[in-house]
Amino acid sequence: MLKDKKILLINVEGATRLRDYFRALQAEATMYESCTVGEVLPISVREQADFVIIEVTHENSMEIARLFAKNAPLTRIIVLTALSQAAAVVVANVQMHALLLSGCVFDEYLTCLWQISEGYFYFSEGLQRQMARKQVKTTGNLVFFDVLSSREREVLSLLCEGFTNAQIGLSLFISAETVKNHKINIMEKLHLKTNNDLLLWVGEIRKEWREHFGIK
């Protein structure tokens, strides 16, 4: 899966060991320590990596992620954060493909990389559980269901399966832009402020949703 893939490690604690793990799997892993916003643009333009892993170590960390999202659109962005900083990362609403807890085991990196390579969004299970408790109200046995239109329910169902906007569009024969509009409507009806809030909420209801509709 990682053979010949380019991976950038930016301000990651324990980056040397992580780099060696990735290299053992024949990935081209490069680490940058104490990297600043001013330094990251040349990196993103020059390298166009497959994955970039950025640890939230200071207030400019999310700006680094934002620069990658803007200047290296094919690069998948993985953000590492301590639980105490996770809420601020979510509120920043920076485009990312995965959110991991700092210090997670290497096996979780592999799970994460596989899932985002397949087009899914990945949250650390522990982080998702903790964030859901703090930011998302309980579903109340899917009492929200009646406020959604039939199309919004279809979009939400595919979100629960981990589909991206493009995949949802193909499945429902609508444009990715229309999918975005449906997601905005869903967020308004469910009082969710950001796309990251929606993804966290979807993670919280996924099991209940699948059980409710008999999805195995």
Question: Each residue of 175-192: pLDDT tens digit?
Answer: 888 899 989 988 888 888
Sign of CA dihedral 4, 6, 11, 12: negative
Chain centroid, CA 174 distance in Å: 23
pTM of the complete model beyond 0.75? no
Check pLDDT > 80 for residue 152. yes
d(CA 1, CA 195): 29
d(CA 79, CA 97): 8
Model confidence at 24, in pLDDT bands (50, 70, 90)? very high
Which residue from 124, 187, 193 is spatially nearest to 159, judged by alpha carbons?
Answer: 187
Domains along the chain with CATH numbers: 6-133 (3.40.50.2300), 136-212 (1.10.10.10)
Model confidence at 164, in pLDDT bands (50, 70, 90)? confident
Check pLDDT > 50 for residue 211. yes
Residue 90 is inside which H or E element, if any?
helix 83-92
Query: The tokens 């964030």 sit on which residue?
Result: 131
d(CA 104, CA 92): 22
Per residue in 67-120, pLDDT (tens digit) is: 888 777 788 899 999 888 887 787 777 888 888 988 888 999 998 998 888 777
pLDDT at 163: 83
